[in-house]
Amino acid sequence: MRYFEDFRVGDVHELGSHRISAVEIRSFARQYDPQPVHLGRSAEPMIASGWHVAAVFMRLYVDSVISGSAAEVSPGIDELRWLRPVRPGDLLVGRSTVLGATPSLSRADCGIVRQRGELADDSGRPVLRFVFYGLMRKREYDPAAAGVIHPDTLGA
């Protein structure tokens, strides 16, 4: 089990890969993003929805990192960028890099880990990049600290 204390700035997690198919692109598009270019009904070549690409990253991250950690929830993401189109047959390779780790001001038993998430295609060209945050439980928690109120949490 990995805890908050185990996430250090600069740590890189290789997340594995996923080959995306035309069937998968159409299926996701039909349900969530039915634009013609994702359904193969456009003069342009079919591309995956950016949200589909982000979901592929999430699956790789959950399987590689979350499943073996004391993860709670994610308070959000920043700077989401789709850098290149993803086409049927592309192999997407995931990686996350720890950018920061700070104790939570509202939960003494947790810390917030800030990471950069990336997917690249078979040629190593980035297709997705974003910054995300995860709330991770601390390995050693002092229950006496639970009642401490930090001034930043008072909404002053």
According to CATH, the topology of domain 4-141 is: Thiol Ester Dehydrase; Chain A (3.10.129)
Over residues 93-125, the pLDDT tens digits come to 999 999 999 999 999 999 999 999 999 999 999
CA distance 50 to 154: 38
What is the structure's pLDDT at 153? 47
Domains in the chain: boundaries: 4-141
Burial class (CB in 10 A: 0-12, 13-18, 19+), 134: buried
- Mind giving me the DSSP string for 75-143? -EEEEEEE-S---TTPEEEEEEEEEEEEE-SS-TTEEEEEEEEEEE-TTS-EEEEEEEEEEEE-SS--G
Q: pTM of the prediction?
A: 0.87
